[in-house]
Amino acid sequence: MKVLLVNPPNCGRSIPEEQYGLDSLKLVLRAEPLCLEALAGNLDAEEVMIVDLKARPGTFRDVLADFAPDVVGITGVTCEANTVVKLASEVKETVNAAVVVGGVHASNDPSFFNKQDIDYIVVGLGKLSFKELLTAIASGRTAHDIPGVAKTRPGTGLAFTRRVYSRDDLAEESPPRYDLTNKYRDDYVMQPFGFSLGLVSTAFGCPHRCSFCSIEGITGGRYLTHDPETIIRDIGLLGGAPVIRLVDANTFGNVAHSRMLCQRIRESGINKGFVADVRSDTVVRHPDLFREWKAAGLRSVIVGFEEIDDKRLGAMEKANTAAINSEAIAILHDTGITIIGDFIVSPDYGEQQFRNLKDYLDKNPVDLPMISILTPLPGTPLYESMKEHITIHDLDYYTLTNAVVPVRMDEKAFYQNYADLMISGHARAKL
């Protein structure tokens, strides 16, 4: 069969830009669609093509007509969900193909895609279940019995079996098809810093349960690590990329695994820079680990500090403290590792809370602060606790830069304070 895998275009909307002319909020990271490259790698019996509409918007209908796929698979996060539905309709208008939807939003809110122009929904990690679905379609069967795959039934509820994930679902013997995105490779850069990135998966899931996070739905709460040899292999496949983003919600979630991977990178003589996700409490408990990784090429870490107030951290079920966050910043600076720090502004912030965050960042400098607005993403515990207060239901605005519940301050003042934080943080940004 001919299988077309689709990365949707940039489609999120912005209240700060649309209503108040605040256009300083964006740092653009255009990276390869690793999830689609991984899916393609496990489809050895199919003719597969990837179309990246973030890199080449406006090309979808021409690709559909020229390639004439039998199956179209579309991925998407929450702010792309409406666009995914529109792309599915374009497929049905253009070719006779089955439409399969997967990704983060499908994994956390599959019922959203129970629509006429969508045939199947892959819920959670799909590398193995998508292949099983294609086998069923090729044999002429309707896939009602594949765990993790839902057959749509518009007008009625979804009925499907949840998949119990194991390392088998990683299908590690099948490397990502990086070659299928070669034509877009020059577009995969971090703006405004100008360096190109290659993406390599190190694990799926997360051992923690932060209330705002949508990662749990990908693996049903499991934390599944790739074998270090698999990771070394995939780094080697991205020979020309000077910097490798290790894709994992928590690259150091298994400390023993992280030490083994670090050792194998050094033994292999790999000479690249690495970017990884870490928790601040891991930094504080294992500072020696970060010194080892610095020697192996770790240049930047992404740390979810989230808040500067212990009470607010507790409400997020972050299982961490502001004091540990500050200690981690000091350790990372001392080690020479650049910090990309994630912070979350709550809609109930007032002027004082914005000042407190600015003062904190002045005293605890983060090389690149990434500040989002607390957003109840469907499928998360936070959504369940806040859904009665949501006033913006258009998922296009679920970009983490819009307040979808009422703000405490005057709305324009709230967004101006938010924009000012971003401007001051990005003025000194480095990677």
Count how many domains the chain has.
2
Rounded-to-integer distance, Cα 160 and Cα 235, Å:
36
CATH of the domain at 334: 3.20.20.70
Residue 171 confidence (pLDDT)? 96
Residue 158 shares a structural domain with residue 206: no
Q: What is the pLDDT of residues 300-338, one digit of tens each?
A: 999 999 888 888 889 888 888 989 999 999 999 999 999
Q: Are strands 71-74 and 120-122 parallel, antiparallel or unpaired?
A: unpaired
Residue 44 shares a structural domain with residue 144: yes
Residue 319 confidence (pLDDT)? 82
Q: What is the average pLDDT across 156-170?
A: 92
Query: Is residue 302 within 8 Å of residue 340, measured between CB atoms?
Result: yes
In a domain, 266, yes or no: yes
DSSP 414: H
Where are the alpha helices (H) located in 111-227, listed in sequence order? 127-138, 216-219
Residue 29 confidence (pLDDT)? 64
Residue 265 shares a structural domain with residue 221: yes
Residue 337 shares a structural domain with residue 389: yes
Residue 155: left if φ>0, alpha if ψ -120 to 50, beta else—which one?
Answer: left
Residue 22 shares a structural domain with residue 152: yes
Structural domain including 289 reads 193-427
CATH of the domain at 38: 3.40.50.280
Residue 131 confidence (pLDDT)? 96
DSSP 421: H
Rounded-to-integer distance, Cα 224 and Cα 392, Å:
35
Rounded-to-integer distance, Cα 32 and Cα 41, Å:
14
Residue 389 confidence (pLDDT)? 97
Q: Binning pLDDT at 50, 70 and 90, where does residue 159 land?
A: confident
Q: Which amino acid is at 220?
A: G
Residue 135 shares a structural domain with residue 18: yes
Residue 380 shares a structural domain with residue 235: yes
pTM above 0.75, yes or no: yes
In a domain, 172, yes or no: no
Among 133, 167, 201, identify where a domain stops: 167
Q: Whats the size of the chain, residue-wise? A: 431
Tokens of 111: 């019922």
